[in-house]
């Protein structure tokens, strides 16, 4: 049976299905594959991390920068599952920064990131989609971070490079030291550093 424009039921259904697929693909592209529920989960996970850290902050060597990896090592939290992809959120790039009685949380989960968000406004925290770390800056909006590693006999000590305060934590753990600052680390090993960049694009999502 055909309608007055010559389309049969099958053709009409086919067109509807194709349009629905196009809408879904466009939604995935513009939202980066992040649904409202997943966005909320990222914020909830960041909130859980910062609240846990604040309660236990005096248990850590450096009470200003406390990384998810430290919290996991101490058995206070388990790995945080990546809500928008495979695996877990990064233990070495997720942390709480405590400054002047204010708590700021960074949570890096695969391609998505909350960056230095004030915990008082975590429900409105910006969500960013990020690219891979590279040695070259692509534009002025790139996130720029310095990474460090130790070398002994020309070989890297750690399997991956770390941000400053997580690097110091790893050095203290390996060498049994209690350093607070980068200036002291070279007493234990030769320090290498490298500046890396990654793209940073805010996800626009109407909740």
Residue 188 structure tokens? 């234990």
Number of Cβ within 10 Å of residue 193's Cβ equals 12
Better pLDDT: 3 or 124: 124
Same domain (yes/no): 48, 123: yes
Are the CB atoms for 112 and 34 separated by under 8 Å?
Answer: yes
The whole-angstrom distance between residue 63's C-alpha and the CA centroid of its chain comes to 20
Average pLDDT over residues 66-71: 97
Cα separations in angstroms, 8 against 11, 21, 120, 182: 5, 20, 57, 72
HEC string of 37-61 equals: HHHHHHHHHHHHHHHHHHHHHHHCC
Same domain (yes/no): 119, 53: yes
By three-state DSSP, how is residue 117 classified?
A: strand
Same domain (yes/no): 150, 127: no
Closest CA to 121 of 38, 41, 67, 43: 43
Tell me the per-residue pLDDT of 98-118, one tens digit each, with 9 for 90 and over: 999 899 999 999 999 999 999
Q: Does residue 156 lie in a domain region?
A: yes
Q: Does residue 23 lie in a domain region?
A: no
Q: Which domain holds residue 147?
A: 143-198
User: What is residue 26's predicted lDDT score, i.e. its pLDDT?
Assistant: 44
Q: Does residue 4 lie in a domain region?
A: no
Same domain (yes/no): 125, 184: no
User: What is residue 76's predicted lDDT score, i.e. its pLDDT?
Assistant: 95
Q: Does residue 29 lie in a domain region?
A: no
Boundary residue ending a domain (131, 159, 186): 131
Query: What total of structural domains would you count in the chain?
Result: 2
Q: Does residue 31 lie in a domain region?
A: no
Same domain (yes/no): 118, 179: no
CA distance 4 to 24: 29
Tell me the per-residue pLDDT of 173-184, one tens digit each, with 9 for 90 and over: 999 999 999 999
The whole-angstrom distance between residue 10's C-alpha and the CA centroid of its chain comes to 46
Same domain (yes/no): 79, 162: no
Are the CB atoms for 43 and 131 separated by under 8 Å?
Answer: no
Same domain (yes/no): 65, 120: yes
Closest CA to 109 of 15, 32, 187: 32
Average pLDDT over residues 45-56: 95
Q: Does residue 167 lie in a domain region?
A: yes
Residue 177 structure tokens? 């030291």
Same domain (yes/no): 155, 97: no
Residue 23 has pLDDT above 50, yes or no: no
Same domain (yes/no): 84, 117: yes
Residue 155 has pLDDT above 70, yes or no: yes
User: What is residue 37's predicted lDDT score, i.e. its pLDDT?
Assistant: 80
Same domain (yes/no): 118, 40: yes
Same domain (yes/no): 106, 176: no
User: What is residue 55's predicted lDDT score, i.e. its pLDDT?
Assistant: 94
Q: Does residue 28 lie in a domain region?
A: no
């Amino acid at each position: 049976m055909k309608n007055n424009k010559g389309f049969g039921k099958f053709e009409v259904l086919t067109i509807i299905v194709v349009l629905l697929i196009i809408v879904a693909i466009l939604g995935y592209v513009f939202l980066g594959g992040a649904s409202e529920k997943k966005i909320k989960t990222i914020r909830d996970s960041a909130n859980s991390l910062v609240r846990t850290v604040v309660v236990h902050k005096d248990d850590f060597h450096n009470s200003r920068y406390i990384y998810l990896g430290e919290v996991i090592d101490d058995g206070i939290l388990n790995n945080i599952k990546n809500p928008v992809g495979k695996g877990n959120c990064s233990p070495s790039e997720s942390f709480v920064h405590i400054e002047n009685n204010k708590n700021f949380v960074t949570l890096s989960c695969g391609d998505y990131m909350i960056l230095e968000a004030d915990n008082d406004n975590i429900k409105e925290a910006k969500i960013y989609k990020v690219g891979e770390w590279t040695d070259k800056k692509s534009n002025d909006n790139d996130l720029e971070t310095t990474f460090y590693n130790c070398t002994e006999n020309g070989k890297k000590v750690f399997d991956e490079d770390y941000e400053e305060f997580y690097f110091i934590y790893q050095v203290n753990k390996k060498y049994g030291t209690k350093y607070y600052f980068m200036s002291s680390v070279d007493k234990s090993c030769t320090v290498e550093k490298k500046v890396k960049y990654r793209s940073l694009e805010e996800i626009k999502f109407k909740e």
